[in-house]
Amino acid sequence: MRRLRAAAFTAVAVLLVLAAVAYGLYGLMNSRTVQTFGTLVDRVDTDEKVVALTLDDGPTARTPEVLDVLGRADVPATFYVNGKDLAAHPEYGRQIVQAGHELGNHTTHHRRMVFVSPSTVRDEVETTDDAIRAAGYDGDITFRPPYGKKLVALPHYLAEHDRTSVTWDVEPDSASQPGAYEIAENTVAHVRPGSIVLLHVMASSRQSSLDAIPDIVARLREQGYRFVTVSELLSLRD
């Protein structure tokens, strides 16, 4: 009887340890502020009122409309693009670069980069880098993991190649699809000096996110904020 109890106790203890490990790995995988290797930035610690506007996915046929909105607001942005979309529509990438915006790497296929091989990581990152260079962008290429997810292979590759992983600290349209007013309210309420704002504007279902940009820009500028690209924001780090 004692042996059975001891065995049961051991089994329960092992299960609890495994559950704790799994919970910890899940938290690390989804963390916006920590990764296993290399440099991750979700915002820059600064007293200067600067903020980076970042736009994920695409480019798509909506790119000219997005650029028109940004142009009328006179605001720079950093576009985290998918390599397959950029390769399919290089003209949109060139338009982004010619308008003075920044291109960042969001992998080729926008897949979850968690349980993947090192060769898959290399292909997903480097193929997109090539497409970004082919679009005429010659600045530093920062990287953003799809869905913000990463664990070991991806951070290890980025660290080996001295690449910065960029997440975000303000994501007003990620949990649902609110209206433009709610997106602007949420953004303005949570931005602080050095913030990185994530918006999704490349799909037709995300019209509210695009419509929110002029209001976000106007209201933050009224508070004294200046908009910069991610590379410009990173240059402010100590």
Backbone angles phi, psi at 201, to 5 degrees: -125, 0
**Cα-based angle 54, 45, 96 (whole degrees, multiple of 5):** 20
Q: Which of 109, 123, 156, 200 is catalytic?
A: 200
Is pLDDT above 90 for 5? no
Is pLDDT above 50 for 23? no
Three-state SS at 28:
helix
Among 105-114, 171-180, 226-235, the minimum mean pLDDT is found in: 171-180
Active site annotation includes 56: yes
Is the pTM value of this prediction over 0.85? yes
Q: Which of 56, 57, 129, 169 is catalytic?
A: 56
Among 25-29, 172-176, 212-216, the minimum mean pLDDT is found in: 25-29
Q: Mind listing the pLDDT tens digit for each residue in 167-180?
A: 999 999 876 778 99
The highest-level CATH class for domain 35-234 is alpha beta
Among 12-16, 79-83, 150-154, the minimum mean pLDDT is found in: 12-16
Active site annotation includes 85: no
Question: In terms of residues, how long is the chain?
Answer: 238
Number of H helices, E strands in the chain: 9, 7
Work out whether strand 78-81 and strand 226-228 pair parallel, antiparallel, or are unpaired: unpaired
Beta strands in the chain (DSSP E): 39-41, 50-56, 78-81, 102-105, 164-166, 195-200, 226-228
